[in-house]
Amino acid sequence: MDRVYEIANEKKDEAKKILEEDPYAEESFARVGYKIRDGKSIEEESGKTYLYISASDDFIKKADEKLKDVAEPVKGEKADRVVKKIQEEEESVGSGIAKFFG
């Protein structure tokens, strides 16, 4: 399951603490993996940060609970757009590295 969260920049530090806590735990954000982008860098709202997680339904439920005070889940077309932009950015970086070493 994919989930996108929107974080107001004033809550970004609080969100980072949650994301980075206990990185060696079996169900930590670090183990599951996440991508975080400034809104302006992906042509979304400046003043916002976007967090993208692709994980099991159970993990997403736990993430919703942990992040409820610092982030809002994004749904619908906006969520699809953010995921697409982040994935395109990742692919672009990957193909650039491949060209460099290829």
What pLDDT is stored for residue 26 in this prediction? 87
What pLDDT is stored for residue 90 in this prediction? 83
Domain CATH number, residue 66: 3.30.70
Residue pointed to by tokens 């942990």: 66
Give tens-digit pLDDT for 2-47. 999 999 999 999 999 999 999 999 899 999 999 999 999 999 999 9
Give tens-digit pLDDT for 39-96. 999 999 999 999 999 999 999 999 999 999 999 999 999 999 999 999 998 887 555 5
Residues facing residue 37 across a β-bridge = 50
Sign of CA dihedral 99, 50, 62, 54: negative
Please give the single-letter amino acid code of residue 51. Answer: L
Containing domain of residue 53, as a range? Answer: 2-101
- How many structural domains does the chain have? 1
